[in-house]
Amino acid sequence: MTLFILLKSPFECNAIEVMEKLKDGNDGVLLAEDGIYYATTSSMRNKLRELGYKIYAMQDDAHARGFENIEETKLIDYDTAVDLIMEKYNQVITL
C-alpha cells in the first residue's frame, strides 16, 4: 500500500503517469498545497478514482484555495495526515 503525496498543481506536473507505473494496490493519494487542484478538476479526480486511489486532501490547503468541500475527497487535518503516513500506508512517495 503506497500513499502518494502530491504538492504541485496538475497543470504544472502530471504525476498520474508516474503513479500508474508505481501503483501496487490499495493505494491512496494525499493532496496538499497546489496538489488540491487534482481533486477540484473533475477530469483529474475521475482519473484518480478510475485507477482506484483513495483521495485525501489537506483541509487547511483546500480552505486556503476557497474550497469547503471537494467531491469524492476526504478532507483531513494534520493529525490524520501523520496517521496515514506513519501507520496506514507502508510506503510514501512525494511527487
Per residue in 23-64, pLDDT (tens digit) is 888 899 999 999 999 999 989 999 999 999 999 999 999 999
Interval 72-95: pLDDT, tens: 999 999 999 999 999 999 999 999
pTM for the structure as a whole: 0.93
Cβ neighbour number for residue 54 with a 10 Å cutoff = 19
- Distances in Å between the Cα of 58 and the Cα atoms of 1, 25, 27, 71, 82 are 20, 22, 17, 14, 11
